[in-house]
């Protein structure tokens, strides 16, 4: 199949009167990939995407929070857009469930680093994206808000239903596509891996850093960043809006693209009926108060979907080797009696971080805050719905007179193992009940110190390119509240654990030192 590229050199050539917010970038270049040959509709979509790219773009040195002057930073950003190979349809809307909207302020970041030679041509990387986006057509859409007038026709019953829906967001499946970002890194993959192992937090620069809004209709739901290292290695970084699916949904979606790239058959996922409205949150009379595992924002954030924080949050990563993990498991083994709950690697690693951060944040007002932590458990297999937020959410509280910073790791791990978890839909019902059409914005990751169990995902096996396995993989959450959050998943060998976290500025070095001391790392 032939594919066409359209290069727009000047917004002025597309728009007679360009919008004010994009009039200062009339000399920027932007490639739009279209397949098959462009129709009039394609040209209209392309024009919209030119403006969208201009509004959505971030300053090159700000991407990933790493300055381009650093050898580990990235530079030379070049943006393009890939759309589905076929038209989804006219006026196709993908309705969002309450569990989806519960996570609308959060994002997922998945980075896969490949050793040289892995410099695949951009054309080869983009080629399978066309059928991939046919399968996952909502990912190519753009967010809109429903107008009350669409749902009410004047009688009391319909007007009440309209008020309940309010300006509820949904995805317009208009085939605007995903954004592809090409960048370069002046380090080799080996230099990068060595620096990542030493100080961590470097994966942030390998995935495009952009939240949704403030113009919903210009904001892509997925960015794919391709980083070229000077040695010929490559990194693929995905920035995924959590509102369209959880970690297993995202991982399954990325894996489909890798299968298509490798020439394998990839069965299409089973998506929700885009025309069916998912069940709304239960009425206030039938649900309890919002659980302590999540918190509502002080005020609605509007159309700029970013978590309001009072702290500067920074990325943090750490590797727990198989040998260190075995030592933790042995030290936590019960003596002479059975444990009530099975304690595994996730609980032990999370307990180690919990205790360390509680000690760092110290007594006083922070002590009470560190007693409650949120636990998010992902399903070990991709969700049947294809795109959904179906993980479980709960919380635990460290009771007693002692601060979590002084409690034995095994006891904290046992608390985490006994966490009462509920489906995200049930948590959403409690958190969003009584909104009556008004915007209610909720923080999940970082409402408290949050631990995300992603151990069941085969993150290294899910994205092989033409038989090449990544040398390093990191799945993390972005858009994190002041409490911080940590994702725990398997390492390259499957027996150790990778921790990808977001913590407060000033905590990263102290946390690394505390973990190394606890794990007896020289």
| pLDDT band, very low/low/confident/very high, at 288 (cuts 50, 70, 90) | low
Q: What was the pLDDT predicted at 367? A: 75
Model pLDDT, residue 436: 55
**Residue with more model confidence, 347 or 17:** 347
Residue 333 in any domain: the answer is yes
The residue with tokens 């050539």 is 13
163 pLDDT band, cuts 50/70/90, is very low
Q: Is the pLDDT of residue 29 over 60?
A: no
| 469 lies in some domain | yes
Structure tokens at 184: 């370069």
Tell me, what's the pLDDT at 330? 86
19 pLDDT more than 80? no
pLDDT at res. 14: 29
Q: What is the pLDDT of residue 184?
A: 96
Does the pLDDT of residue 24 top 60, yes or no? Answer: no
Q: Which two tokens stand for residue 213?
A: 């809004």
Does 154 reside within a domain?
A: no
Q: What is the pLDDT of residue 143?
A: 96
pLDDT, mean over the chain: 82
**Among 138-142, 358-362, 401-405, which is the least confidently predicted range?**
401-405
**Does residue 503 fall inside a structural domain?**
yes
Query: Would you state the pLDDT for residue 462?
Result: 87
147-156 residue pLDDT tens: 754 444 444 4
- The answer as to whether 347 is a domain residue is yes
Helix axis angle, 409-417 relative to 322-331, nearest 10°?
90
Count Cβ atoms within 10 A of the Cβ of residue 89 and give its class: 0-12 exposed, 13-18 middle, 19 or more buried.
exposed
pLDDT in tens, 185-210: 999 999 999 999 998 999 999 999 99
Please report which confidence band the pLDDT of residue 167 belongs to, taking 50, 70 and 90 as the band edges: confident
* Helix locations, 332-435, DSSP H: 345-361, 365-369, 409-417, 424-432
| Domains contained in the chain, number | 1
Average pLDDT over residues 293-299: 91
Domain hosting 412: range is 295-519
368-382, 402-416, 461-475: which has the minimum mean pLDDT? 368-382
pLDDT at 257 over 80: yes
The string of DSSP letters for 174-201 reads ----EEEEEEEESS-HHHHHHHHHHH--
Q: Which pLDDT score is estimated for 160?
A: 40
- Answer with the residue of higher pLDDT: 445 or 379: 445
Three-state secondary structure call for residue 483: coil
Residue 428 located in a structural domain? yes
Calpha distance 442→294 (Å, rounded):
7
Q: Quick check: 404 pLDDT over 70?
A: yes
pLDDT exceeds cutoff 50 at 461: yes
- Residue 446: DSSP 8-state: T
Indicate whether 340 belongs to any domain: yes
- Of 452, 454, 451, nearest to 489 by C-alpha is 454
Residue 18 confidence (pLDDT):
31
Give pLDDT, residue 126: 96
pLDDT over 70 (residue 108):
yes
Percentage of the residues of the chain whose pLDDT score is greater than 90 = 62
**Quick check: 27 pLDDT over 60?**
no
Summarised one tens digit per residue, pLDDT across range 472-512 is 999 999 999 999 999 999 999 999 999 999 999 999 999 99
Q: Is residue 129 part of a domain?
A: no
Q: Residue 260: which H helix or E strand, with range?
A: helix 247-261
Non-local (6+) Cβ contacts of 221 within 8 A are 138, 139, 140, 141, 142, 143, 171, 178, 212, 240, 241, 243, 244
CATH code of residue 466: 3.30.559.10
pLDDT in tens, 54-96: 444 443 333 334 333 356 889 999 999 999 999 988 789 999 9
| Pair 384, 270: CB distance under 8 Å | yes
pLDDT tens for residues 340-399?
678 999 999 999 999 999 999 987 667 778 999 999 999 765 555 689 999 999 999 998
pTM: 0.85
């Amino acid at each position: 199949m032939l594919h066409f590229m359209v290069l727009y050199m000047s917004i002025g050539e597309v728009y007679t009167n360009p919008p004010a917010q994009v009039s200062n970038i009339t000399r920027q270049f932007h490639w739009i990939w279209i397949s098959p040959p462009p129709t009039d509709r394609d040209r209209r979509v392309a024009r919209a995407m030119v403006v969208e790219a201009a509004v959505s773009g971030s300053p090159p040195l700000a991407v990933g929070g790493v300055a381009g002057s650093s050898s580990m930073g990235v530079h030379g950003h070049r943006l393009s857009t890939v759309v589905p190979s076929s038209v989804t349809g006219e006026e196709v809307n993908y309705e969002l469930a309450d569990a989806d909207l519960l996570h609308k302020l959060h994002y997922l970041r998945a980075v896969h680093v490949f050793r040289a030679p892995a410099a695949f041509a951009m054309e080869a990387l983009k080629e399978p994206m066309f059928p991939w986006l046919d399968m996952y057509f909502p990912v190519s859409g753009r967010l809109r808000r429903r107008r009350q007038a669409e749902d009410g026709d004047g009688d009391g019953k319909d007007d009440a239903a309209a008020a309940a829906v309010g300006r509820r967001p949904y995805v317009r499946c208009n085939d605007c596509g995903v954004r592809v970002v090409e960048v370069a890194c002046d380090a080799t993959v080996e230099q990068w891996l060595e620096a990542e192992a030493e100080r961590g937090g470097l994966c942030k620069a390998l995935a495009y850093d952009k939240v949704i809004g403030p113009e919903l209709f210009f904001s892509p739901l997925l960015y794919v960043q391709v980083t070229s290292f000077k040695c010929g290695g490559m990194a693929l970084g995905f920035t995924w809006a959590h509102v369209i699916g959880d970690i297993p949904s995202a991982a399954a979606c990325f894996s489909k693209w890798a299968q298509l790239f490798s020439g394998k058959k990839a069965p299409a996922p089973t998506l929700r009926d885009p025309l069916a409205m998912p069940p709304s949150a239960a009425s206030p009379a039938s649900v309890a108060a919002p659980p302590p595992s999540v918190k509502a924002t002080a005020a609605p954030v509007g159309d700029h979907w970013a978590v309001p924080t009072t702290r500067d949050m920074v990325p943090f990563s750490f590797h727990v080797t198989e040998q260190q993990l075995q030592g933790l498991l042995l030290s936590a083994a019960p003596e002479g009696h059975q444990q009530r709950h099975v304690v595994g690697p996730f609980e032990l690693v999370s307990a180690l971080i919990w205790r360390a951060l509680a000690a760092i944040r110290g007594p006083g007002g922070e002590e009470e805050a560190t007693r409650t932590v949120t636990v998010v458990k992902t399903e070990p297999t991709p969700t049947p719905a294809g795109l959904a937020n179906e993980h479980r959410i709960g919380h635990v509280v460290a009771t007693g007179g002692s601060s979590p910073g002084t409690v034995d790791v095994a006891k904290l791990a046992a608390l985490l193992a006994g966490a009462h978890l509920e489906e995200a839909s049930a948590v959403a019902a409690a958190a969003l009940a009584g909104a009556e059409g008004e915007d209610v914005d909720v923080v999940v990751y970082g409402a408290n110190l949050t631990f995300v169990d992603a151990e069941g995902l085969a993150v290294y096996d899910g994205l092989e390119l033409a038989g090449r396995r990544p040398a390093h993989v990191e799945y993390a959450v972005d858009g994190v509240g002041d409490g911080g959050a940590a994702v725990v998943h398997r390492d390259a060998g499957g027996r150790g654990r990778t921790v990808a976290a977001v913590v407060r500025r000033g905590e990263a070095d102290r946390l690394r030192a505390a973990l190394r001391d606890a794990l007896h790392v020289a």
